[in-house]
Structure 1
Amino acid sequence: MIDKLSLIIVSPEIVLLTMACVIAIADLSVTSRLRTATYWLTMATLGVVAYFTAFFATEGQTIYAFGRMVVSDPMGNWLKCFATLAMMVCLVYGRPYAGDRDMLRGGEMFTLAMFSLLGIFVMISGSNFLVIYLGLELLTLSSYALVALRRDHATATEAAMKYFVLGAMASGFLLYGLSMLYGATGSLDVGTVSKIIATGQVKHQVLVFGLVFVVAGLAFKLGAAPFHMWIPDVYQGAPTAVTLMIGSAPELAAFAICIRLLAEGLMPLAMDWQQMLMVLAVASLFIGNFAAIAQTNLKRMLAYSTIGQMGFVLLGLLSGVVNGSTAPAANAYSSAMFYIVTYVLTALASFGVILLLAREGFESDEIADLAGLNQRSPLYAAIMAICLLSLAGVPPMVGFYAKLAVLQSLVVSGSPIYIGLAVYAVLMSLVAAFYYIRVIKVMYFDAPITATTVAAPLDVRVVLTINGALILVLGILPGGLMTLCAQAILRTLNT
């Protein structure tokens, strides 16, 4: 018998699922090229869902439902709210692009976007291995279909096939690791697994063997090296509107399952998985930043940039337990959460500008395509410059405070290894500054290759301007978001 509280807890998921089915059927009667009715119905649904999740988050309660298979806590609800807002922004930016490329012949883009968001919600809410995996598969299957949405485009189809093959392999890694943990502990419940491991009665070798596969699966979802192979090809090959969808909101879900599985479920094994994350972080910062220098394609450069940025997130996650003490955990994980949220905000704006510049038959995804953008559109050049400076970690952009928070969590640990990692991260950020500033130089100092002005629908202009302004405002006043992340993580860890 399902109790009333359980249904209330999953009401955002119920609304998403119901409306995704309703919109799929209602779209059959929509005839406009840009699917206007479908678009506004989807946006209204996502607006309601964002309100519900924000309301639950501000309540500040941690509630378990469906026999502890699902959890509603402040961290999860805020991440759901941010993911919903990110998906709304993706649809605002992506609709004109998709319409020009005949990707809106049906309403599949909107329906698949809602199903992928539903997968994100299930992943974030999961407090059981099977629920987390169910959400992960719903997200990835929807993402494969989105990447292949341009049926007549060979590059997109190739990207979808690569994504599918590598994604299936990573899902297999994660599932095999979880099955090993289940075999060792006899439970699928995240909290119960943590308690059983803490007793010390389970063979350590078996747990570590399963842990290796779990971390490998999580690294793939985050896009951390050496499990990053899919990111450059999928980012470049997918339609830019879809690149934006798979490079923003799903990152929040990947962070959430890292917290659920590693911090909540496998905290007694922290010294083992932190060493694994250390290797992944060092490799991601090196490979991501040095490979990005060689890129001429803007989407591919941002893909390698993402790998480097995920290195910083991993640095936050690996500094939670020092010498067996979990006291630094709240500070470390909240800095990682702040980093991933601000990264998604910046990624939305940067890909939004690329989408804006893309015209029918012209993708505008080469760095050279941005030449002289300041002369054609000072506003959009300024927004892109703000994004790039934020990604580089230049004050007063929000990216500077995100990097500072992660570095501070490493330094305050007092561990020589972590302080060394902080120095290494700073050096890699200096390398990254080169390729970000190179794009700004192209926008402001190179001669434009075309004299056409940049035109955009009103909703795109408004949202993009707000998006760019938020990166600057949150950089000047980061306290509110930092406090929100700190309180959300603290309440999650205390339950």
Structure 2
Amino acid sequence: MTFVMPNFSLALPELWLFAMLCVVLVVDLFARGKESAPAFYLVQVTLLVAMWLAVQAQWGENVVDFNGTYAADSLAAVLKVAIAAFAFLAFAYSRDYLRQRGLLRGEFYLIGLFGVLGGFVISSAANMLTLYLGLELMSLSLYAMVAFDRDSRIASEAALKYFVLGALSSGMLLYGMSMIYGGAGSLEFATIAQAAASGDDNLLLGFGLTFALVGVAFKFGAVPFHMWVPDVYQGAATPTTMFIGTVSKIAAVPLFLRLIAGGLGELHGDWQVMAMMVAVASLAVGSLFALVQTNFKRLLAYSTIAHIGFLFLGFIAGNDEGYAAALFYAISYSLMAAAAFGMIIVLSRRDDEAERIDDLSGLNDRSTGMALVMLLVMFSMTGVPGTVGFYAKWAVLKAVVDAGHVWLAVVAVLFAVISAFYYLRVLKAVYFERIEGHAHAVPASTAVRWVCGLNGAAILALGIFPGWLFAVCRAAFAG
């Protein structure tokens, strides 16, 4: 057997991240007492360089290397840029928040960077083993980030729930992968796809598909595997919640695309029915349960579940247009979620998390600019034209209608109308409710308010000019 040296230049984004993890660890060790500023800035620079390397090394490529375990293609490049960009945004929001609570330590950024590395590995997985390793690296990082505030009882409780349920889902996913391996005789997605396309009645592949889809649905937080989402979103520190609500959602997209759509794409008729059930249940539970929430973070958690239902519509279409729409939706939703959680950070004080809807009361009187950002976020999540959320919903609805599932689009629109109620309820608090007594000024620093403002501006800009981002998402599947 001839050994062929792999092309290490294809994996430059991962190699760079791993090397910088070691550098940041050592630098932070010798920079104590400086509020971990060197670690923060090094990590931010690392993420920017990682985005550049992903584009340079993988955009336009279509190569499987490292003995069939690593895929370098345009899809991986887009996913890695999105993962790194939202991690950069989450860290940019986090610094003042962590400082106020005595949590500003370099370990927070290191753990987050490990999670980003896991997301990069998932994005380029061409093999079930690589996929699982990347998934576990990200999952373990998220568990640690949720439990980062060791003095918080609610954070510890949320981390324990997340860990137990996450371990269960990982076990189910691994069991499904073992069945798929037994049916296909290989760990590589290309070989699995050939086995699925052979036309044989392969019971093991169908059995493995069911368990694999359960594991994937859990990572998205889709119904009926959504139980962890509200508790973790509420219990974790808000920067961690933002990280989970953006970075991990982007990283879950290749989990589906590589394993289910790529490896088992020929079994589309089998997994499509299950995906439809998950999508409708997520739309229903997310939209209806959010109606009764008074905690803004829990409202956003149930809102996330409903948005995952929309994202699954793109998967259900089962073609490149649908997958591109799902990818566009994931990026668009993450941008909206970042701004929504960023608003909680903007309004939070050391002794007040500002996570109740009532905490938003009179925001327009305190800061017209921040109220405008909240208006854009809520309008975008509702799907009002002129915001990126409208185009994202339109893209997945068009894909599912073109695939012949008109009834599914009608159900999605119905629940979108229902969801408008709780988004507008938030805006009612912002613009029409008043605080008794003296209204407190927005406590966030100018830098954080600028980040939040730019986040809101991006939602509006992509709503007016969505074409270029959707063109990038389409190009990711062109090869």
On whether the aligned pair clears a TM of 0.5, the verdict is: yes
Partners of 1:457 and 1:124 in 2: CA distance: 35
SS, match of residue 252 in structure 2:
helix
Hey, what's the Cα distance between the residues in 1 that align with 2:34 and 2:445?
15
Q: How far is 1:374 from its partner?
A: 0.6
Contact 1:34 1:96 in 2 (8 A): no
Report if the CA contact (8 A) 1:56-1:74 is conserved. Answer: no
SS in 1 for 2:351: coil
The Cα of 1:235 is off from its aligned counterpart by 0.2
Specify the alignment match of 1:325 in structure 2: none
Which amino acid letter does the alignment assign opposite residue 400 of structure 1? F
From the superposition, tell whether residues 309 and 423 of structure 1 become closer, same or farther in structure 2 (CA, over 3 Å): same
Indicate which of 406, 429, 448 corresponds to 2:435: 448
Rounded to whole Å, the distance in 1 between the matches of 2:4 and 2:434 is: 65
Post-superposition offset of 1:377 = 0.7
| Cα distance between partner residues in 1 of 2:100 and 2:159 | 21
Counterpart secondary structure, 1:63: strand
Q: How does 1:154-303 map to 2 (within 5 A)?
A: 154-201=153-200, 203-303=201-301
Residue matched to 1:94: 94
Contact 1:33 1:99 in 2 (8 A): no
Contact kept? 1:220, 1:227, Cα under 8 Å: yes
Q: What's the counterpart of residue 15 of structure 1?
A: 16
Distance in 2, matches of 1:424 and 1:20, equals: 46
**Corresponding residue for residue 128 of structure 2:** 129
| Alpha-carbon distance between aligned partners in 1 of 2:254 and 2:245, rounded to the nearest angstrom | 15
Residues 341-394 of structure 1, C-alpha deviation per residue, up to 9 Å, x if partnerless? 100111111111111111101100000000000110111111111111101111
The residue that corresponds to 2:423 in the other structure is 436
Give the direction of change, closer, same or farther, for the CA distance of 1:353–1:3 in structure 2 (3 Å limit).
farther
Q: Which residue of 1 aligns with 2:385?
A: 395
Q: Normalising by structure 1, report the TM-score.
A: 0.94
Cα distance in 2 for residues equivalent to 1:275 and 1:294: 30
Separation in 2, partners of 1:48, 1:181: 37
Q: Distance in 2 between matches of 1:405 and 1:4?
A: 42
Among all aligned residue pairs of Structure 1 and Structure 2, give the percentage whose two residues are the same amino acid: 44
Q: Distance between the aligned counterparts of 2:195 and 2:203, measured in 1?
A: 15
**Residue 6 of structure 1, CA deviation:** 2.6
Partner of 2:103: 103
Residue 360 to residue 175, structure 1, CA distance change in 2 (3 Å): same
The answer on whether the counterparts of 1:120 and 1:250 sit within 8 Å (CA) in structure 2 is yes
Deviation of 1:466 (Å): 1.6
Distance in 2 (CA, whole Å) between partners of 1:290 and 1:357 is 27
Quote the RMSD (CA, aligned, Å). Answer: 1.4
Q: 1:3 to 1:368 in 2, by over 3 A?
A: farther
Give the deviation of 1:340 after TM superposition: 0.6
SS of equivalent residue, structure 2 residue 126: coil
Rounded Cα–Cα distance in structure 2 between residues aligned with 1:251 and 1:155: 23
1:54 Cα deviation after fit: 2.6
Distance 1:28 1:197 in 2: 50
Letter in 2 for 1:75: L
Supply the AA of the counterpart residue of 1:437.
L
The alpha carbon displacement at 1:31 in A equals 3.1
Task: Report if aligned partners of 1:240, 1:355 keep a CA contact under 8 Å in 2.
Answer: yes
CA drift of 1:263 comes to 1.4
Number of residue pairs the alignment of both structures matches: 477
Q: Distance in 2 between matches of 1:32 and 1:397?
A: 43
Map Cα deviations across residues 110-145 of structure 1 (whole Å, 9 max, x no partner): 100100000000111111000000000000001101
Q: CA deviation at 1:397?
A: 0.7
**Structure 1 residue matching 2:64: 3-state secondary structure:** strand
- CA 372–119 in structure 1, closer or farther in 2 if over 3 Å, else same: same
Q: CA deviation at 1:19?
A: 1.1
* Contact 2:293/2:299, CA 8 A, preserved across alignment: yes
Residue correspondence of structure 1 range 344-363 to structure 2 within 5 A: 344-363=334-353
Structure 1 position 63, deviation (Å): 1.6
TM-superposition CA deviations, 1:288-346 (whole Å, max 9, x none): 000000100000000000000000111110112xxxxxxxx111111111111100111
- 1:424 is displaced (CA, Å) by 0.5
Q: What whole-Å deviation, never above 9, does each CA across 1:230-278 have from its counterpart, x for those lacking one?
A: 0000000111111011110111110111010111100110100011000
34 and 2 in structure 1: CA distance in 2 versus 1, 3 angstrom threshold: farther
Matched residue type, 1:18: A
The residue correspondences of 1:44-63 to structure 2 (distance < 5 A) are: 44-57=45-58, 59-63=59-63
Matching residue of 1:318? 316
User: Are 1:143 and 1:246, in contact at CA under 8 Å, matched by a contact in 2?
Assistant: yes
Partner Cα separation in structure 2 for residue 375 and residue 145 of structure 1:
38
Aligned equivalent of 2:361: 371
Query: 1:292 & 1:2 partners in 2: Cα distance?
Result: 56
Structure 1 window deviating more from structure 2 (177-186 vs 44-53): it is 44-53
Alignment of 1:36-51 (within 5 A): 36-51=37-52
1:483 is matched with 471
Q: Which one is further off, 209-218 or 446-455?
A: 446-455
Indicate conservation of the 8 Å contact 2:12/2:57, yes or no: no
1:468 aligns with one of 413, 434, 456: 456
* Contact 2:103 2:149 (C-alpha < 8 Å) held by counterparts: yes
Q: Any gaps of 5 or more consecutive residues in structure 2?
A: none
Q: Following TM superposition, by how much is the alpha carbon of 1:17 offset from its aligned partner in structure 2, in angstroms?
A: 1.1
* CA–CA separation in structure 1 for the residues paired with 2:277 and 2:216: 14
Judging changes above 3 Å, is the alpha-carbon distance between structure 1 residues 192 and 31 closer, same or farther for their aligned structure 2 residues?
Answer: same
8 Å Cα contact 1:82/1:341 also seen in 2: yes
TM-score by length of 2: 0.97
Matched-pair contact (CA < 8 Å) for 2:12–2:54: no
